[in-house]
Amino acid sequence: MLRRILKLLVFLVAVLAMLAVAIIPAVAIVSIISSPSSGKVQVKLGSPVELYYGLYLWLHQDELQKPLLPAGTPVPFTVYPGESPYSIAERLEEAGIISSAKLFYAYIRYNNLGHTLEAGDYALSPGMTIPDIVNVLQHGRPREITITVPEGWRMEQLADYLEKQGIMSAKEFLAWAKVDLWVERYNFLKDVPEGATLEGYLFPDTYRLPFPASPQDLITRMLGNFEAKVTPEMRARASELGFTLHQVVTLASIVEKEAVLPEERPLIAGVFLNRLRKNMYLQADPTVQYAKGYNKATGRWWSPITIEEATSIQSPYNTYLNLGLPPGPICSPGLESIKAVLYPAQTDYLFFFSADGSSHIFSKTYEEHLEKQKQYGK
C-alpha cells in the first residue's frame, strides 16, 4: 500500500514538475537524491523536477545498487561523441548491461552528470551497478579487462575459463601456448623439450588486457612475468642443485598441487627431492590427476584418484608407474613453490599424508608412515 501511495506521489510530483518548469522554476523544496559518489540516498533542497527524479531513485534504490547479474562477461560498449545521456541509457539496456534505461537516465539527470560522460570505447559488465558504470563512463578509460590466474591451474583450465568469460577462444589460446612459438624470444624456455606446451610457464597472477584481447596479448604478459619473477639468481641456484629450470618448474608444479599450507611447501619439496636421490617413485597423486584429465562426472580437472587408478593409468606423467620426474609441469606453480624447490627443508622425511585436508604428517620410514596413518584413521 505504501509503495502505491509513493508511486502516486511520484506521478503527482511529475505533474507538479511540468507546471513548475513553465510557471515556477525558482521554487525550492525538499528533495531526495542519490549521491554520485556512493549511490546512497540523501536529502537536499531542490526544484520539483529534482523531487520527481529523487523520489523515483528512492523508490528504486535497491535496483540502483544491484547489478543486472551477480557476475558477467565484459561487453564492448562505445559512447559516441555528442551522444545524449538517454541514448546511452537505451543502448546500455539493449546490450543487456543494465536492467532499466529509465533508472540510468534518472541517476544521470538527477545528479547532473550528463556533461561528464566521455566518448570512447569501454568494457562494461552486467555485473556492475549503475553507479559503477557511470563512474567508468566519466573517466574515458579505454576498454580493458582484468584476468586473475590462480596458482595451480593447468593450461586447459585457463583456456576453458577464458572462453567461458567471453575473452577468447580456448582452442585459439591453446594453439598459441606452444614452446616452439616463443623459445626464440624467451631464453628460459630453452630447456623445455621441443614440441612441448607452455604448461608451467604461464605465470599465475593478475593481468590487465585490452579488450578484445588476443592469445598473444595474454601469453606475452605471462611469459614476461615469469622472466621477471624467476630471477637470474634463482636460475643459477637451479644449476647449483644440478637441475635444469624445466626440472625445477616441473617439481614445483607438483609441490603446488600437494601443498595447502604455505609453510609446508619446503617440507614437501624436501620429501620429493629425497625420494629422487634414493631413486624412489615420487607417488604424487596430482601427477595421476593430471594424466586422468577432466572428469565429466564431477566437472573437475583435479578429481580424487583411487589406488586402482594410480596403478593402472598408463601415462608418462603417472609417478606411481614411472621413476623420476614427469616429462613436464602439471600446472602453473606460484613463486613460493618454485622457491621451495630451490631452497627445500633439509630433513630425512620420505613420506607424508594429509591429516585434515590441509596440514600434512611427515615420516622418515615406511613403518613410521603406516603407524601414523593408523593414528589418524587413514
DSSP character string of 14-45: HHHHHHHHHT-TT--EEEEEE-TTT--EEEEE
CATH topology of domain 143-229: Dna Ligase; domain 1 (3.30.1490)
CB 372 within 8 A of CB 354: no
**What are the tens digits of pLDDT across the range 117-166?**
988 888 888 888 999 899 989 876 667 788 999 999 999 999 999 998 88
- The residue among 321, 260, 265 whose CA lies nearest residue 288 is 321
- The confidence band for 19, taking pLDDT boundaries of 50, 70 and 90, is very low
Retrieve residue 131's grid coordinates.
553507479
Which superfamily does CATH assign the domain made up of 75-142 to?
A: Endolytic murein transglycosylase (3.30.1490.480)
**What are the tens digits of pLDDT across the range 48-88?**
667 777 788 888 888 888 888 876 677 888 888 889 999 99
What does pTM read for this prediction?
Answer: 0.68
pLDDT of residue 32: 44
Q: Would you call 154 exposed, middle or buried from its count of C-beta atoms within 10 A (0-12, 13-18, 19+)?
A: buried
**What are the tens digits of pLDDT across the range 41-52?**
444 445 666 777
**Residue whose entry in the numeric block shows the C-alpha cell 604424487:** 284
As a whole number of angstroms, the distance between CA 275 and CA 265 comes to 16
What's the distance, Cα to Cα, between the start and end of the chain in Å? 62
Cis peptide before 262 (omega within 30 of 0): no
Domain range summary for the chain, segments of one domain joined by +: 2-59, 75-142, 143-229, 243-347
Distance of CA 165 to the CA centre of its chain: 10
CB 282 within 8 A of CB 316: no
**What are the tens digits of pLDDT across the range 291-324?**
999 988 888 999 999 999 999 999 999 999 999 9
* Residues comprising the chain, all counted: 378
CB 360 within 8 A of CB 354: yes
Report the mean per-residue pLDDT for the chain.
87
The β-bridge partners of 206 are: 148
